[in-house]
Amino acid sequence: MKKKHSDLHSTDLKTMYRFIQKQSEHYPVQVLCQTLAVSRSRYYEWLKPTPSPAPIELDTQPTQVEKMANTQQIKDLFSLHRRRYGTRRLVDAMKDRGVKVSRDFVRKVLVNNGLKPIQPRSFVPRTTDSRHTLGYSPNLLLDRPRPTGPNQIWVSDITYIPLANGKWLYLAVWVDLWSRRVVAVPRPGWCLADHMRDELVITALRRALLGRQPADGLLLHSDRGGQYASKDFRKLLAGKHLQSMSRAGECYDNATAESFWSRLKAEVVESGVFLSLDDARVELGEYIDNYYNAIRKHSGIGYCSPVQFEFKHMSQN
């Protein structure tokens, strides 16, 4: 007696379904199902892929102990960076430690513990004196594509540094526009002095060129200050490198250098004035060479430090 579909064991049905599937290359499915007394609709239903079971959602919420540990790590990082890190950089710094936290969590930790990150401010007085007759170079940055590697574009500026006795020091830097690094290998591409004469920026550039040994064609951008327009400064370029200057009244043409000053003033100078030139040179050297270049995360380069950013580039090429 022919078995009905309802009488067949599920194992027998699966065997028949597999047989039909294999023979369907040679015979119509309808004929095979009729011959074996198998429901064609059930066969097609069997052919459909079995949906994967819904994933079991595990409780990924941190425990109270983990929250306490994360809170302490955030407080430690905040102290380590001397209030220089806000919520974004603290989140990324925790990620470096293998811990994922939200900005909301970090913000609550800061607020609950009375921790206030330093906020950059605008500083006066201005150091640029463009009232000279030495001539101005055009702004070559306007039509220049963004740099794709080191030593393609450097930018420079000068700022005031206050002393405890009421006098001023003057700091000139050269920054690689690509990596945001203050040029400092092996000699610092910055110069601190108690004057604003031409040799301030010339010394900084000479150190940077000796350290980096850039190829010809490096673009050197600055504001329209007389130091950058001086005969001795332009002589240092020796026809090998290009000079570019910001447009009159356009401070944003040198935004990268201005941004660096904003950070340095907020994160170093605002905490107190220096006692002497030597005191300032040590403290600023520690900040520029050992912290800003090597450790401080920069939002413009994927929250890497300039040194890390350059190292990644070298390791990929």
Position 1 pLDDT exceeds 70: no
**Are 160 and 235 in a shared domain?**
yes
Pairing state of beta strands 242-245 and 153-162? unpaired
pLDDT of the residue at 125:
42
pLDDT of the residue at 190:
93
- The whole-number average pLDDT for the span 9-38 is 76
**Bridge partners (DSSP) listed for residue 159:** 171
Q: Is residue 244 part of a domain?
A: yes
Q: Is residue 18 part of a domain?
A: yes
Pairing state of beta strands 168-176 and 153-162? antiparallel
H/E segment holding residue 212: helix 199-212
**Are 28 and 168 in a shared domain?**
no
Write phi, then psi, for 41 (nearest 5 degrees).
-65, -40
For the chain, how big is the Rg over CA atoms in Å?
A: 33
Pairing state of beta strands 168-176 and 242-245? unpaired
Average pLDDT, the chain: 84
Q: Give residue-wise pLDDT tens across range 120-167.
A: 655 444 555 555 556 788 899 988 899 999 999 999 999 999 998 889
Total-model pTM: 0.68
Q: Give residue-wise pLDDT tens across range 42-62.
A: 888 888 876 666 554 545 678
Q: Is residue 3 part of a domain?
A: no
**Are 71 and 218 in a shared domain?**
no
**Are 228 and 96 in a shared domain?**
no
Residues 277, 278, 279, 280: is their CA dihedral positive or negative? positive
Give yes or no for a contact between 224 and 179, defined as CB atoms under 8 angstroms apart: no
Distance of CA 270 to the CA centre of its chain: 24
Q: How far apart, in whole angstroms, are the C-alpha atoms of residue 28 and residue 37?
A: 14
How many CA within 13 A on the CB side of residue 183?
A: 31
How many separate helices (H) and strands (E) can be counted in the chain? 12, 5
Share of the chain above pLDDT 90, in %: 45
**Are 179 and 41 in a shared domain?**
no
Q: Is residue 98 part of a domain?
A: yes
**Are 32 and 75 in a shared domain?**
no
Q: Where are the alpha helices (DSSP H) in 81-173?
A: 87-96, 103-112
**Are 170 and 293 in a shared domain?**
yes
User: Residue 15's closest CA among 45, 36, 40, 41?
Assistant: 36
**Are 202 and 243 in a shared domain?**
yes
**Are 19 and 74 in a shared domain?**
no
- The whole-number average pLDDT for the span 274-280 is 92
Task: Return the beta strands (E) in 201-312 as ranges.
Answer: 219-222, 242-245
Task: Return the beta strands (E) in the chain as ranges.
Answer: 153-162, 168-176, 190-193, 219-222, 242-245
Q: 236: domain range?
A: 153-315
**Are 306 and 206 in a shared domain?**
yes
Q: Give residue-wise pLDDT tens across range 92-102.
A: 889 888 899 99
- As for how many domains the chain has, the answer is 3
**Are 83 and 22 in a shared domain?**
no
Q: Is residue 168 part of a domain?
A: yes
- Provide the Cα torsion 111, 115, 120, 125; round to 10°: 130
Q: Is residue 5 part of a domain?
A: no
